[in-house]
Amino acid sequence: MLALTEITTWHWVAFIAGVLIFVGLDLFVFHRGTHAVTFKDAFFWTTVCFCLAMLFGVALIPTRGQEEAMEFVTGYIIELALSMDNVFVIALIFSYFQVPSEYQHRVLFFGFIDALIMRGTIIGIGTVAVQKFHFILYFLGAFLVYSGVKMIFSKEEGVHPEKNPVIKLAQRIFPVSTHFDGAHFFTRLNGRLALTPLALVLLMVETTDLVFAVDSIPAIFSVTTKPFIIFTSNIFAILGLRSLYFVLVGALEYFRYLKVGLSVVLIFIGAKMLGEHWIKIPTIWSLCLVAGIIVASIILSILAVRRQPHPAKEVSPEAGVTNKR
């Protein structure tokens, strides 16, 4: 049996550099300028991100072993699934602020850069704490069970920027323009540097990711406590979230039961962490259960949409297009 490759600082640097090069090419080459992202492009990049994650998992087999590769894939699927709920909130934010479609990719790009730093910091603190105080895992497990139950019974809420402390702080420091200035986050208002509505959207997206990170990052501790695996699986998940948003945004009604599925996933993961001392669930079983729950919730959502009667569409005789109600 070959010796496992030790993860060094250079592995971290190489991975982060590779991610930054990829997102840099995405913004400055493939999505240069401001234009709306089409479904075809979004689906292509979603597929690319997924394939890159799977290739990374395969590359771990000869270097870190099959078990660690399976932990990465399982962690990636869990993080990707939990990130999908973030898509719905981002859609609400964009709709509330009426963000033009050609500016949305720019917001998600800079949101990813901030998430890279923020999640890396949380993961670093979390792994050190868990390694020193193993009992923290039981508190995290109880928290996930609580979050899952709360998610099931919580009602859908709208976007309330006036309640966001980060937005309040930004408005105290800078004046805020009422109009977009292209894809810029700053503009000039009466000679002063001011925030554009797009900057507020970016702050909302970032704080939303922070809230979701509180649930998603503890979840992966049920799979592994290895910092490199936790970090890479998280980054691959949010790397694909930008393009996944544009794939799902036009079909959100087909995911009405996904929230229930994610709740069950959180409860299962939390219970797994609480009972790890008595029951050891293999990683492959966890992967199959999580994937099965998500797929089942999506299938039930699609069936529910197809069974409901569709309202008659009104057609404008002049324009020849369907009028949305």
pLDDT of res. 57: 93
Point out the least confidently predicted range of 69-78, 101-110, 155-164: 155-164
317 has a pLDDT exceeding 50: no
249 has a pLDDT exceeding 70: yes
Q: Are 177 and 170 in contact (CB under 8 A)?
A: no
Please give the mean pLDDT across all residues of the chain. 82
> Residue 163: pLDDT band by 50, 70, 90 thresholds?
confident
Say how many C-beta atoms besides its own lie within 10 A of residue 183's C-beta.
16
Q: Give the Cα separation of 149 and 266 in Å (integer).
A: 8
> Residue 112: pLDDT band by 50, 70, 90 thresholds?
confident
94 has a pLDDT exceeding 90: no
User: What percent of the chain has pLDDT above 70?
Assistant: 88
At 90 the three-state DSSP class reads helix
Q: Are strands 192-195 and 186-189 parallel, antiparallel or unpaired?
A: antiparallel
41 has a pLDDT exceeding 90: no
What mean pLDDT comes out for the span 178-200? 87
pLDDT of res. 309: 65
User: Phi/psi of residue 246, each to 5°?
Assistant: -70, -20
pLDDT of res. 287: 85
Residue-wise pLDDT for 4-40, tens only, equals: 788 888 999 999 899 888 887 776 776 666 666 777 8
Structure tokens at 112: 């990813």
Residue-wise pLDDT for 282-302, tens only, equals: 888 888 888 898 889 888 888
Residue-wise pLDDT for 52-78, tens only, equals: 999 999 999 999 889 999 999 998 998
The alpha-helical segments, DSSP class H, found in the chain are: 9-25, 39-64, 66-97, 101-132, 136-153, 165-173, 197-220, 227-248, 258-274, 283-307
Q: Is 89 exposed, middle or buried (0-12, 13-18, 19+ CB in 10 A)?
A: middle
- Per the document, the length of the chain is 325
> Residue 259: pLDDT band by 50, 70, 90 thresholds?
confident
Instruction: Look up residue 176 and give its DSSP letter.
Output: B
Say how many C-beta atoms besides its own lie within 10 A of residue 297's C-beta.
22
Q: What is the DSSP string of 268-308?
A: HHHHHHHTTTT----HHHHHHHHHHHHHHHHHHHHHHHHHS
What mean pLDDT comes out for the span 210-218? 78
- Of 311, 215, 301, nearest in space to 256 by CA: 301
Q: Is 65 left (phi over 0), alpha (psi -120 to 50) or beta?
A: left
Q: Is 180 exposed, middle or buried (0-12, 13-18, 19+ CB in 10 A)?
A: middle
pLDDT of res. 73: 93
| Separation of CA 185 from chain center | 22
Rg (CA), the chain: 21
> Residue 232: pLDDT band by 50, 70, 90 thresholds?
very high
159 has a pLDDT exceeding 90: no
